[in-house]
Structure 1
Amino acid sequence: MQGFACSRALLFAIAAATLPVAAHSADGAGDKTPAARKSADGKYIDRGRYLVRTAGCNDCHTPGYPQSGGKVPEEKWLTGEHVGWRGPWGTTYAANLRLYMNGIDENQWIKIGHGKELRPPMPWFALRDMTEDDLRAIYRYVRSLGPAGAPAPAYVPPDQTPQGPYVQFPMPPK
């Protein structure tokens, strides 16, 4: 299947949907009793659910989410996408975060969120600007969903054409 042009309006909407939101700390995170830990984890998970919804994670990482106006059941959230994003960097695919997060620990996620530049169109800079508590909340929420789905397709280098559907980003002017 051939790619289709991605409008500037769509690119702006993707970027706007991924702006970071205000920081929030979980109460009781330092308390070591089982009840306090469960309460703190619940607050982190609730915060993570909120961040995933409002920061635009589902827009790319949940199949059919934007097209349905966000009416995808939560049990199908963040299972990756098989539509590629093709540009001068090659073709990237929104990862299955439910599988990805189960392969790393929380501290690895925080290092990735605060320092790793990822290929477009992933707004890695939005993760970089989130607080450590926000990243912990996202991690704990995604882990609470459990693994589901299949891995997204592998990255395709710029000199190769992807096999499946993709969005073609305009080439920069010369």
Structure 2
Amino acid sequence: MNRLVFALAAVIGAGAAVATLTAASREDLVQHGRYVALIGGCNDCHTPGFAASGGQVPESQWLTGDELGWSGEWGTTYAPNLRLRFATMDLASFKQYAHSFKARPPMPYWAVNAMSDADLEALYAFVQALGPAGKEAPAALPPGVRPAGPVVQFPAPPQDPAAH
């Protein structure tokens, strides 16, 4: 009987150790995702006021999209709410999307396309840990449509003198 109790205690103890390890590993993954979001510049556009405040926006408000438009010859783009967008995807769908999506300026989609699976998994875990919050950003506008709110205006590209 003592051997059975000892064996059961060992199994329960091992299970608790695995659960603790899994929780610690999950927290490491989330913290790595936080790091990826910071160094990747995700907050610069997807968090209202982040760049203007030198990053002094509470984490509870991160990645909720913005109503500040980015206008140029392509029209006007708005940074979407990543927390709502990620909430609609499982990890496999997110990774497939991240490796292949194309976006209008100024989104550096090529940088996201090039992220490693490990970085994408961490970013996904971080955004999932933040949870859904906020509202959808305005829809993109085509060229020639004047945005209602504030915008960052990009000038037209310089003319190539050799083309004349």
What TM-score results when the alignment is normalised by the length of structure 2?
0.82
- The counterpart of 2:61, out of the listed 65, 72, 76, is 76
Distance, in Å, in 2 between the alignment partners of 1:67 and 1:121 is 17
Residue equivalent to 2:4: none
What TM-score results when the alignment is normalised by the length of structure 1?
0.77
Residue 38 of structure 1: how far off its partner (Å): 2.4
1:52-63 to structure 2, matched below 5 A, reads 52-63=37-48
1:25-174 to structure 2, matched below 5 A, reads 33-174=18-159
Distance, in Å, in 2 between the alignment partners of 1:52 and 1:60 is 11
Report which structure shows greater RCO (CA 8 Å, sep ≥6). 1
* 3-state DSSP of counterpart to 2:138: coil
Percent of matched pairs sharing the same residue: 48
Residue 173 of structure 1: how far off its partner (Å): 2.9
Q: Return the structure number with greater helix share.
A: 2
Residue 37 of structure 1: how far off its partner (Å): 3.1
Task: Please tell me whether Structure 1 or Structure 2 has the larger radius of gyration of its CA atoms.
Answer: 2
Uncovered stretches (5+) of structure 2, i.e. residues with no partner: 1-17, 160-164
Residue equivalent to 2:15: none
Distance, in Å, in 1 between the alignment partners of 2:67 and 2:94 is 23
Distance, in Å, in 2 between the alignment partners of 1:158 and 1:103 is 29
Residue 39 of structure 1: how far off its partner (Å): 2.6
Uncovered stretches (5+) of structure 1, i.e. residues with no partner: 1-32
